[in-house]
Each structure stands twice: as C-alpha cells, then as structure tokens.
C-alpha cells in the first residue's frame, strides 16, 4: 500500500489527492499539527506566500523527514519562478527527491503522471533516488 501525506489550504491539493485515491485506492492522510507518521510515504503539499513551505508541512518534515520518500507540490504559474517552489525548497533542505509539480488541483494528465511516477519510477521506495528528480 502506498501512503500519501498531504497538506491543503485552499482545497487544490485535496482535490488532487482525492482524484489519485479514486484511481489507485492508495491511502491518503491529511497533515495535522504535531502529527506522527508510523508508515513511510510520499508528500504532496502546496506553495504559499509566493514561495514559502506551509507551516504544518515544515513542522512534519522537521521531525519526520526520514519517513518521506518524495515531494510533490502544487502552485500557480502566475507566481513565475516561485511556481510550486515549495517542492524545490523541501528537496534541498531535507534531501527528498521531487516527484513533480502541478498547477492548482492538477489536470487528468497530472494525475496520471503522478501515479506513474510513484508506481513505476519509485517502486523501490529508496530515498534519494535520482530517478525521481524530473520536475
């Protein structure tokens, strides 16, 4: 079973996650303050304030980044170079590979690409895989 941990403020990431679990049946858990992860998984988050990692996401990673295999971030292309930059910042700070970036709640193509990346390019769940850095 693949576990997805997600953070959503406006509902865009949650809509993306709901589409993914509809297709795959994977387990999705919304990040809460002071949450502890018991099983490793993949992180899907958003970018806020023109390039900031959300507080709950940062808090989770500070304590349990070793449980996260990859990071995916939503964003808005209107932000230019800050588009979905939370994934880049997380990847750099916590040495977690970036799976992908998507705009707002993602398209059907984004959903399929995400599923393919997690299922086929990261099936072995070895952290630090160079295969994932395709975003």
Q: What is the pLDDT of residues 51-86, one digit of tens each?
A: 889 999 999 999 999 999 999 999 988 888 888 899
Question: Which residue range forms the structural domain that includes residue 108?
Answer: 3-132
CATH at residue 110: 3.40.50.360
Query: The dihedral of CA 18, 20, 23, 28: what is its sign?
Result: negative
Q: What is the pLDDT of residues 103-126, one digit of tens each?
A: 898 899 999 999 999 988 754 445
Task: Report the pLDDT averaged over residues 28-57.
Answer: 92
Q: How many CA atoms lie within 13 A of 66 on its CB side?
A: 2
- Cα separation, 6 vs 130, in Å, equals 22
Q: How many structural domains comprise the chain?
A: 1
pTM of the model: 0.87
């Amino acid at each position: 079973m693949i576990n997805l941990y997600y953070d959503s403020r406006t509902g865009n990431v949650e809509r993306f996650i709901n589409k993914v679990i509809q297709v795959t049946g994977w387990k999705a858990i919304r990040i809460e303050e002071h949450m502890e992860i018991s099983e490793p998984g993949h992180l899907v988050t958003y970018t806020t304030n023109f390039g900031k990692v959300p507080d709950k996401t940062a808090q989770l990673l500070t304590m349990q980044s070793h449980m996260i295999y990859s990071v995916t971030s939503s964003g808005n292309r209107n932000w230019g170079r800050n588009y979905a930059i939370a994934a880049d910042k997380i990847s750099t700070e916590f040495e977690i590979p970036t799976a992908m970036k998507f705009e707002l709640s993602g398209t059907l193509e984004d959903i399929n690409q995400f599923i393919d990346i997690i299922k086929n390019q990261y099936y072995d769940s070895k952290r630090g895989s160079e295969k994932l850095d395709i975003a």
